[in-house]
Amino acid sequence: MGCANRLSVNNITKTYPGVRALDDVSIGFRKAEVHALVGENGAGKSTLTKILTGAIEPDSGEIVLGNDVRKSFTPHHALEAQIAAIYQEFNLVPFLTVAENVFLGKEMRSGPFLQSRRMNAETSRLLATLGVELDPATLVMELPVAYQQIVEIVKALANDIRILIMDEPSAALTTREIKLLFRLVKTLKEKGVTIIYVSHKMSEVFELADRITVLRDGKFVSTLDADKTDRSELVRLMVGRELGQVYPPKQIPGEDVLLEVKKLRTPALPHEISFTLRKGEILGLAGLVGAGRTEIVRAIFGADPVESGEILVEGRRIHVTNPGGAAANGIGLVPEDRKRHGILSRMSVRENISFSTLRNLSRFSFINDKEEKKTTASFKEQLNIKVSSLETAVGNLSGGNQQKVVLAKWLATRCRILLLDEPTRGIDVGAKQEIYKIATRLASEGTGIIFISSELPELLGLADRILVIRAREITGSFQKGQATQETLLHLAMGK
C-alpha cells in the first residue's frame, strides 16, 4: 500500500450487540492537517479509530488510502499503510529502555546480539527531530506520563508513520505537559504527518485543529473549518440541542457539618489532613496529578489504611477499614479509573447498578427481580444512560455512560457523602453538564460532595469551596468567587 497521506472512509457501518456504533459514516482527511474528531461519548469516535488501525472490522463500507481501496484493515495493513495510534493507555514495556521500546519487534541486531548503541543513536536522532532531550537508555518506568507519550510518538516515527491517530492524548497530562504535547503535534504537522486528534476538550480542538468533524449517535454530522466555527456551534452540533448555562445555579449550603476529617494520616499522606464538609456543599479539591487528592478520598472510603486521625460523620466517629464499611456509613466513591475500579465490564447495566444494594433488594437470599428492574430502570431514566437494554454489558457502553452507571450504583445506596474523583475525565461536553446537574441536584437535597478535578474552570464554576493540595498536604482554601485559575495553579505548583 502506498504511503500517501490522503485517507478517507466511505459509508462505514459497525454494529455491536444492542448498539450501532457507526452508521454509514464518510469522512475525508487531508495530507499534513490536524483533523479533530469530536462528539459525545457513544458518538463513534473510538470505533472509527479502531477500524483505521485494524483493531476491528467494519460491517460494511470501505477505507481509501491514496489509490488503494480496502473493505477493512488488519493491524499489519495499518502498519504497512503507515498508520499508527496513540491511546490513553500506553502500549509500552515499563522495564525496557526508551530505545528498546521504540524498536520492540524490529530490533537492530548483529547476528544474535542486539546493537544497543545503534538503537540508542537512532532513537536520539528521532527525539531530536521533535526537539526533545531524553536519554534513550532510560527505563520507561522511570519516565513521567508526558515522556512516556513521547516514546509512543517516537515509536510511530521509527515506522515512518504518515498518519497518526491521537485518542484523548492529554487526558492524564499536567498543564505543563500539555504544552509539550501541543508543540509536538505542531512539529509533526510541519513534517507532513496527518494527525487525527480525538478530544473532548474544546480549548485543545480550537488551538490545534485545521478542520473538525462532528459525529453524533454513530452518524456523520458535519466537517467544519476550525477558524470558521466556534464552541457554541460545535457543542450544538455534538449534542443536537442548545446546552444553555454550563454550571447550574446552586443554593448556598447551610452550616451543619456532615463530614469532619481530623489530623488524618496514612502511608500515602505523611502530613496531617484536616477539613470539614457541610450538608449540601460541593467541596472541590484542586492540585496537580500526584498531589495527594485521590489518596485523601481513598482514605475516607476505607480503600487505604489510616495510621492516625479521625473521621466523623454528623459528629459520630466512624472506624472505616474497607469500602464496605464506608458504604454502611453512607459514603460512596466514584473512582478516578472507572474501568479498573468502578464497573464490572462483563456484567449488565442492571447488575452494575444494583450491585451495591443487593441486600436491600433481597429476601431470604433471593433477589426481588421486579424491584431490581424497577430501580435500575428508574436510574437509567434519571441519569439519561443511553443504552437500548438494561441487559447490555457495561463494557459495551461509551465512557460517559459507564460513568453514569457508576454514579447510579452509589445513588441507589442513598449515600449522604459522595466522593467524585475526576468524574468528568474523558467524557463529552453534554455528559459533563449532566454530571454537573446531578451533583448540584444532590447537593440541594443535602448530600455532601467532594469533587476532584484537574480542570480548574470546572472547580471554579461548580464548587462552593476549594481546597488546594500540594505535596500531600492542604496549602490553601478558597470560598466561591475568591480564587482564579492563576491563583489555584500557582498555589498547586508551589509558586
Q: Is a pLDDT exceeding 60 seen at residue 361?
A: no
Q: Which of these ranges, 12-21, 177-186, 424-433, has the smallest mean pLDDT?
A: 424-433
The answer to whether residues 454 and 289 touch, using CB atoms and an 8 Å cutoff, is: yes
What percent of the chain is modeled with pLDDT above 70?
91
The answer to whether residues 278 and 465 touch, using CB atoms and an 8 Å cutoff, is: no
The average pLDDT across 261-266 equals: 96
The average pLDDT across 20-34 equals: 93
Q: Is a pLDDT exceeding 50 seen at residue 262?
A: yes
Q: Is a pLDDT exceeding 60 seen at residue 243?
A: no
Q: Is a pLDDT exceeding 50 seen at residue 3?
A: no
Centre a 10 Å sphere on the Cβ of residue 337 and count the other Cβ atoms it contains: 11
pLDDT value at position 97? Answer: 94
Give the mean pLDDT of the chain: 85
The answer to whether residues 237 and 216 touch, using CB atoms and an 8 Å cutoff, is: yes
Tell the burial category of 72 from Cβ atoms under 10 Å away from its Cβ (0-12, 13-18, 19+).
middle
Looking up cell 495499518 gives: 78
pLDDT value at position 374? Answer: 75
| Strand 417-421, strand 465-470: pairing | unpaired
pLDDT value at position 2? Answer: 43
CA dihedral 458, 461, 463, 466 (to 10 degrees): 70
Ordered by where they begin, the domains of the chain are 7-239 (3.40.50.300), 257-493 (3.40.50.300)
The average pLDDT across 76-92 equals: 82
473 vs 485: CA distance, rounded Å: 19
pLDDT value at position 356? Answer: 65
